[in-house]
C-alpha cells in the first residue's frame, strides 16, 4: 500500500491546480472575449493578452519552474531580499515549497490554457445567439447563462488537460520533493515498473481523457443555439459596456503580469541579484552592470548545453514534421482516420516521460546488432523518446492548417496529381506557415521535455533542460537564471511567431 500516500498527494495537487486554473483562466477568457467584441483599442489589449497566454503555454515546464524558483524559491530574490527574516540564516526557505509551489506553477500554466480555451469556446458561440441573449438577459446574465454553458466543452477540456499534466509531469514535483505518483514512478519504478505503477501513472490519465472525449462527442451533438425569449428586450447601455471593458482590461493586464511577466522579471532580477553580509546582516543588492556581465558570460559558460539543445531540437523537429505531415494530409478527408489519429496523438502526450524513456531503453537493449552502439554513442534514442510528444504537437498544427484548406481545391488537385505530387506541389506552398509552425512547436517541446530526455541522453550530452533540472535542486542562483534567460529569449521569439499564427488562423476561420 505504499502507493496510497503518493496517490493522495497527486489528488491534492490536482485539486489545487484546478482551483487556481479554473478561477483565473475563466476570468481571463471572459476578459479576452469581452475586449475583442468591443473593438477599437480594447481589441489590441485582448490580442496582447492572448499572445501572452500563448507564450505561457509554449514555455516548457522546466523554464516555468526556473522562473518561479528565481522569483520566490529558496534562493529566489524575493526570499533573499527579506533581510529581517534571513538574519538568522538560511534554514527557513519561505512559503514557496511543497504543494504550494507545485500547485502554483501547474495552476498558472493551466490558467493560461483555460483562458485560451474559454476565449475560443466563447468565440464559437453564434453571434446571433450572443446578441439576442444580451438583449433579453443583460450582459452578465447572458454570459453566465448562455455563453459560458455553450463554451463549457472547451473549458472542461482545458481543465482536464491541466489535471492530466499535474498527474503525469514530474519536473516540478521532483524539484520541490512533492512525491506524487509521477515522481514515485520516476524515482522508484522506472528501472523495474510494476503493473500497478503503470496503471496509476499511465492508464488512469488515459481513461480520464477517453471519458472526456466521449462526453465531448455527446455535447457536440447537443450543440444547438439557445432560444431566448424576445419579450423583454433591453437596449445596450454604453456606460455599462465601458465599465465592463475597463474591468476586463484590468483583469487581462493583471493576469498577464501574474502568469508571465512576474516570473520572467524574477529571472532578470536574479541574474544581477547578490546577498552580502553587512555588519552581521544579510543585505540584498542588485546591479545592472553585474546583470549585463553575467548575461554576456552565460553563452560561453553554457555553450555545450545550448549547442546540444539546438542539435536535438532541430533533429526532433525535422523528424516530427516528416512523420506528422503525411498523417495530417492523409486524414484531411477521412473523418474516421482523423478521429483515430486525434485520440492516438492525445494518448502519446499522456504517456509519462520516464515511462517513455524506459520503453526506449528497453528497445535498445534488445539483442540486435548495432542497437547497443546507437544507444551509447548517438542521439537516436533521445530523438525517438522526444518524438512521443513532438509528433502530436506537429500533427495538431498541421491538422489546423489543413482544416483551413478549401475542399474544392483538394478535390481538383487530386484529379491532376498523385497523392505525393499533390502534397509537395500544392499543399506545401500553401501550408508553408503551418509547416514552419509545426517544426517550431516540435522543437520547443523537444527542448524542454526533461522527463523523457533524462533516461536516454547519452554520456557527455547535456541539454539546457537537464542542466537546469540538476542545478535547480540546490536553488536558483544567478548562473541558473542566466542560463534560463537565453533559452527563454529563443522560446519567446518562437512563441511570438506561434501566437501570430494562432490568432491569424482564428481570424481566417471566422
pLDDT above 80: residue 292: yes
Give the bridge partners for 283, in sequence order: 276
248-275: pLDDT as tens digits: 889 999 999 999 888 888 888 888 877 6
**Inside any domain, residue 414:** yes
282: helix, coil or strand? Answer: strand
In the numeric block, which cell numbers belong to residue 69? 524558483
**CA gap 221, 229 in Å, rounded:** 23
**What's residue 317's pLDDT?**
93
**What's residue 208's pLDDT?**
60
**What's residue 206's pLDDT?**
56
pLDDT above 60: residue 217: no
% residues pLDDT > 90 (the chain): 15
**CA gap 210, 196 in Å, rounded:** 20
**Inside any domain, residue 379:** yes
**Inside any domain, residue 349:** yes
Asked whether the beta carbons of 345 and 396 are under 8 A apart, the reply is yes
**DSSP labels for 405-449?**
S-HHHHHHHHHHS-HHHHIIIIIHHHTHHHHHHHHHHHHHHHHH-
**CA gap 413, 35 in Å, rounded:** 41
Where on the phi/psi map is residue 72: left (φ > 0), alpha (ψ -120 to 50), or beta? Answer: alpha
**What's residue 190's pLDDT?**
52
CATH number assigned to the domain comprising residue 459: 1.10.3720.10
pLDDT above 70: residue 25: yes
**What's residue 185's pLDDT?**
65
**What's residue 480's pLDDT?**
80
CB burial string 409-428: b at 16+ within 10 A, e below = ebeebeeeeeeeebbeebbe
**Inside any domain, residue 87:** no
Query: Which domain, by its residues, includes 467?
Result: 287-473
CA 41 to chain centre: 28
**CA gap 166, 175 in Å, rounded:** 14
**CA gap 494, 236 in Å, rounded:** 41
398: helix, coil or strand? Answer: helix
**CA gap 388, 455 in Å, rounded:** 14
**Inside any domain, residue 456:** yes
Question: CB under 8 Å to 262, separation ≥6 — which residues?
Answer: 71
Where on the phi/psi map is residue 40: left (φ > 0), alpha (ψ -120 to 50), or beta? Answer: left
CA 3 to chain centre: 28
**CA gap 163, 342 in Å, rounded:** 19
Distances (CA, A) of 320 to 316, 386, 393, 501: 6, 9, 9, 19
**Inside any domain, residue 105:** no
Asked whether the beta carbons of 116 and 53 are under 8 A apart, the reply is yes
Asked whether the beta carbons of 465 and 309 are under 8 A apart, the reply is yes
302-359: pLDDT as tens digits: 889 899 999 999 999 999 999 999 998 888 778 888 888 888 887 788 777 777 888 8
Q: What torsion, rounded to 10 degrees, do the Cα atoms 361, 366, 370, 371 define? A: -10
Asked whether the beta carbons of 216 and 118 are under 8 A apart, the reply is no
Asked whether the beta carbons of 271 and 482 are under 8 A apart, the reply is yes
Question: E-strand spans in 19-154?
Answer: none
280: helix, coil or strand? Answer: coil
Per the structure, the count of domains in the chain is 1
**Inside any domain, residue 138:** no
Min mean pLDDT across 123-127, 135-139, 141-145 is at 135-139
**CA gap 178, 286 in Å, rounded:** 32
pTM across the whole model: 0.79
Question: CB under 8 Å to 79, separation ≥6 — which residues?
Answer: 72, 73, 85, 86, 93, 94, 96
353-405: pLDDT as tens digits: 777 888 888 888 888 888 888 888 889 999 999 999 999 999 988 888 887 77
Question: CB under 8 Å to 133, separation ≥6 — which residues?
Answer: 141, 142, 145, 146, 147, 226, 228
Continuous H helices in 283-379: 288-301, 303-330, 335-350, 353-363, 371-377
Report, in angstroms and rounded to the nearest whole number, the Rg of the chain calculated over CA atoms: 24
**Inside any domain, residue 432:** yes
Amino acid at each position: 500500500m505504499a502507493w496510497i500516500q503518493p496517490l493522495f498527494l497527486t489528488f491534492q495537487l490536482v485539486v489545487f491546480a484546478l482551483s487556481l486554473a479554473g478561477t483565473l483562466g475563466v476570468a481571463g477568457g471572459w476578459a479576452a472575449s469581452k475586449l475583442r467584441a468591443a473593438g477599437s483599442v480594447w481589441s489590441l489589449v485582448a490580442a496582447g493578452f492572448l499572445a501572452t497566454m500563448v507564450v505561457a503555454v509554449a514555455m516548457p515546464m522546466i523554464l516555468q519552474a526556473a522562473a518561479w524558483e528565481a522569483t520566490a524559491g529558496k534562493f529566489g530574490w524575493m526570499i533573499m531580499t527579506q533581510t529581517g527574516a534571513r538574519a538568522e540564516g538560511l534554514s527557513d526557505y519561505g512559503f514557496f515549497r511543497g504543494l504550494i509551489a507545485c500547485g502554483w506553477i501547474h495552476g498558472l500554466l493551466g490558467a493560461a490554457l483555460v483562458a485560451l480555451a474559454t476565449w475560443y469556446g466563447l468565440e464559437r458561440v453564434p453571434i446571433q445567439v450572443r446578441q439576442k441573449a444580451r438583449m433579453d438577459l443583460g450582459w452578465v446574465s447572458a454570459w453566465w447563462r448562455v455563453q459560458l454553458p455553450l463554451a463549457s466543452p472547451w473549458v472542461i477540456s482545458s481543465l482536464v488537460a491541466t489535471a492530466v499534466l499535474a498527474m503525469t509531469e514530474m519536473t516540478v514535483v521532483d524539484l520541490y520533493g512533492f512525491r506524487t505518483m509521477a515522481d514515485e514512478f520516476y524515482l522508484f519504478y522506472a528501472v523495474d515498473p510494476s503493473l500497478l505503477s503503470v496503471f496509476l501513472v499511465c492508464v488512469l490519465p488515459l481513461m480520464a481523457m477517453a471519458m472526456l472525449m466521449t462526453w465531448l462527442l455527446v455535447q457536440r451533438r447537443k450543440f444547438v443555439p439557445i432560444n431566448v425569449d424576445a419579450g423583454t428586450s433591453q437596449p445596450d447601455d454604453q456606460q455599462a459596456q465601458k465599465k465592463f471593458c475597463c474591468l476586463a482590461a484590468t483583469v487581462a493586464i493583471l493576469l498577464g503580469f501574474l502568469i508571465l511577466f512576474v516570473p520572467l522579471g524574477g529571472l532578470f532580477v536574479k541574474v544581477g541579484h547578490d546577498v552580502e553580509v553587512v555588519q552581521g546582516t544579510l543585505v540584498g543588492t542588485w546591479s545592472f552592470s553585474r546583470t549585463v556581465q553575467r548575461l554576456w558570460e552565460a553563452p560561453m559558460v553554457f555553450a555545450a548545453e545550448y549547442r546540444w539543445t539546438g542539435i536535438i531540437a532541430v533533429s526532433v523537429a525535422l523528424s516530427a514534421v516528416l512523420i506528422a505531415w503525411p498523417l495530417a494530409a492523409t486524414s484531411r478527408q477521412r473523418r474516421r482516420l482523423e478521429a483515430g489519429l486525434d485520440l492516438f496523438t492525445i494518448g502519446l502526450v499522456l504517456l509519462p516521460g520516464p515511462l517513455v524513456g524506459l520503453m526506449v531503453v528497453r528497445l535498445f537493449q534488445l539483442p540486435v546488432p548495432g542497437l547497443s552502439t546507437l544507444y551509447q554513442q548517438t542521439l537516436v534514442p533521445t530523438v525517438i523518446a522526444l518524438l512521443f510528444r513532438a509528433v502530436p504537437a506537429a500533427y495538431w498544427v498541421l491538422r489546423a492548417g489543413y482544416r483551413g484548406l478549401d475542399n474544392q481545391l483538394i478535390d481538383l488537385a487530386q484529379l491532376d496529381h498523385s497523392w505525393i505530387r499533390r502534397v509537395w506541389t500544392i499543399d506545401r506552398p500553401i501550408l508553408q506557415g503551418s509547416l514552419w509552425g509545426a517544426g517550431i512547436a516540435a522543437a520547443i517541446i523537444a527542448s524542454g521535455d526533461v522527463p523523457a530526455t533524462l533516461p536516454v541522453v547519452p554520456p557527455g550530452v547535456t541539454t539546457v533542460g537537464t542542466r537546469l533540472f540538476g542545478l535547480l535542486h540546490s536553488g536558483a542562483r544567478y548562473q541558473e537564471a542566466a542560463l534560463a534567460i537565453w533559452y527563454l529569449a529563443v522560446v519567446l521569439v518562437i512563441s511570438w511567431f506561434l501566437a501570430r499564427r494562432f490568432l491569424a488562423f482564428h481570424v481566417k476561420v471566422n
